[in-house]
Amino acid sequence: MPLSSSPRRVFASLLLLSALGLSSCSALGTLPVGADGAATDPAASSTKATTSTKAATPTASAPASIGGQLTVSAALAKIPTKGRAPKTGYVRTEVFGAAWKDVDKNGCDTRNDILTRDLKGVTYKPGTRDCVVLTGTLAEPYTGTTINFVRGQGTSQAVQIDHVVALSDAWQKGAQKLSQTQREALANDPLNLLAVDGPSNSRKSDGDAATWLPPKKSYRCAYVARQAAVKLKYGLWMTQGEKDAITRVIASCPTQTLPSA
């Protein structure tokens, strides 16, 4: 007996559902299988991989300034990098003026001004209006030693006044373009002057940070900060080797700031 139209519709529906079920199983069978035997979603795996390989947040660099004072690293970014110019024309007394002028017009020459600033327990030669230092004690920055200064033949040179940025170095790194007045100011600027151990000053000669650093390592951060301050103030440049040397020093003191005087 022929099937009625209703059973035929039921039979056709069963065939369609069966086909759909097989298709869904086939699609599920193409998904990757995880370690626990369950199917995994490629999109989800991709998201996880992206998350796991995300780069770490870079470490914050040293601040550009602290308490209104520029850090050494920030100063280095402002100082030009160039090669050393020829020393042609350099005669100390001609291009930087005679040594130890009284540029601040206080009645005392620059050498005695710096001795007064850097020594403790200072005594003066009578009748000089406290301008000529006779004795004093120096807590020497380059070596960490204590020097008892006594003015006189054969003793005065135990303490010398160092140009932190040597004048010859300054001449080869931009001072040739300064006016005579500016060069004389540089040669007598307290920012660029320190009372130091005589032999250490002689060994330094006209070296920059790439060729000479204070033997006392704990003072090196302050030393390169002073060099950077002077070069920035007078528009001088540094060589790449000099900058590299200073960068290595301040790696241990990234918040070191420039002195103001």
**pLDDT, tens digit, for every residue of 172-198?**
999 999 999 999 999 999 999 999 999
Mean pLDDT on 20-47: 38
Q: Which strand (E) or helix (H) includes residue 133? A: strand 133-139
Q: Is residue 169 part of a domain?
A: yes
Q: Say how far apart CA 141 and CA 216 lie, in whole Å.
A: 7
Residue 112 falls inside a structural domain: yes
- Rounded Cα gap, residues 235 and 225, in angstroms: 15
**pLDDT per position as a tens digit, 46-85:** 333 333 333 333 334 668 988 889 999 999 999 999 999 9
User: 178 lies in a domain?
Assistant: yes
For the residues 213-232, what does the mean pLDDT come to?
98
| Domain-located, residue 52 | no
Q: Which residue has the higher pLDDT, 9 or 155?
A: 155
- Give the residues across from 133 on adjacent strands: 124
Residue 98 or residue 11, greater confidence: 98
pLDDT of residue 68: 85
**Per-residue pLDDT reduced to its tens digit, 106-151:** 999 999 999 999 999 999 999 999 999 999 999 999 999 999 999 9
Residue 193 falls inside a structural domain: yes
d(CA 65, CA 70): 4
pLDDT at 27: 37
Q: Residue 61's pLDDT is what?
A: 64
Q: Is 199 inside any structural domain?
A: yes
Overall domain count for the chain: 1
| pTM of the complete model beyond 0.85 | no
Task: Confirm whether 171 is domain-assigned.
Answer: yes
Q: 257 is written with which tokens? A: 């700031």
pLDDT for 242 beyond 50? yes
pLDDT at 11: 44
Judge whether 176 lies within some domain. Answer: yes
- Residue-level pLDDT at 1: 45
Most distant CA atoms of the chain, gap in Å? 146
Q: Domain range holding 204?
A: 65-250
